[in-house]
Amino acid sequence: MALDEQGSFSVLDAFIEGGGNCIDTADVYGQGASESILGRWMSARKNRDRIVLATKLGFPMGNDPTARGLSRRYILQEVEASLNRLQTNYIDLYQAHGDDSATPLTETMAAFDELVQQGKVRYVGASNYSAKRLREALSVSDQHGYVRYSCLQPPYNLVNRAPYEGELEALCLEQGQREPSGLMC
C-alpha cells in the first residue's frame, strides 16, 4: 500500500527526527512519484543539506521502450528528470538499478564519470549486478580513469543471502582491501 503525500511527509519527518539521514529511492518507484514526493518534502522542510540522497535508474519507466537502460543518452536524460523531480541540483549516490548488457560498460561508466565531473552526482553505485559484470565495470573504470562504482546494493536479506555471500562478497572484500576508497559493501 502506497502512502499519500501527507502520510509520506509524516514518515519522512519521523525518520529525520529519529536520527536518520540517508534516503534511497529510484526513478521507477511510482514511475517518478517517489522522487517527486521526496523533492517536495525536502523543499518544504529546507533540509536537503542534511540528507544523503540516493536514487537509481535503468529499469523500465512506463510503456516507452526507450525509457530504460544505461546508455549515455538515457543516463544524461534521466539524471535531469530525477534532479527535477527531487528539486535538487545534485544526487549524493546515483546507482545503476541493474546491469544493461546491451550497452557497453565503457559508455555507461563514461556517462557516470561525466555526471560526477559536472557535479550533478557525487558517487555512483551498482545495484543487482553479478560479480562478473561488477568486476568488468570496475576494470573499465580503472583502464579509462573513470569514476568507479563505490557502492553495491545487492539483493540481500536474512532469508535470501546467497546472491551476495559468495562471489560478490569476495569481490567487495578484494576491492575494499585494494584501496581505501574501493567498493563499499
pLDDT value of residue 155? 84
pLDDT value of residue 64? 85
| Domain definitions of the chain by residue range | 5-178
pLDDT value of residue 184? 44
The 3-class SS string of 129-182 reads: CCHHHHHHHHHHHHHHCCCCEEEEECCCCCCCCCCCCCHHHHHHHHHHHHCCCC
Residues with a catalytic annotation lie at 29
Mean pLDDT by 10 residues, the chain (185 residues): 89 97 94 96 97 95 89 98 98 96 98 98 95 96 96 87 89 72 43
pLDDT value of residue 158? 87
Could you tell me if 116 and 79 are in contact, meaning their C-beta atoms sit under 8 angstroms apart? no
| DSSP 3-state of 92 | strand
pLDDT value of residue 178? 52
Q: Which CATH architecture has domain 5-178?
A: Alpha-Beta Barrel (3.20)
Q: Could you tell me the pTM of the whole model?
A: 0.92
pLDDT value of residue 179? 47
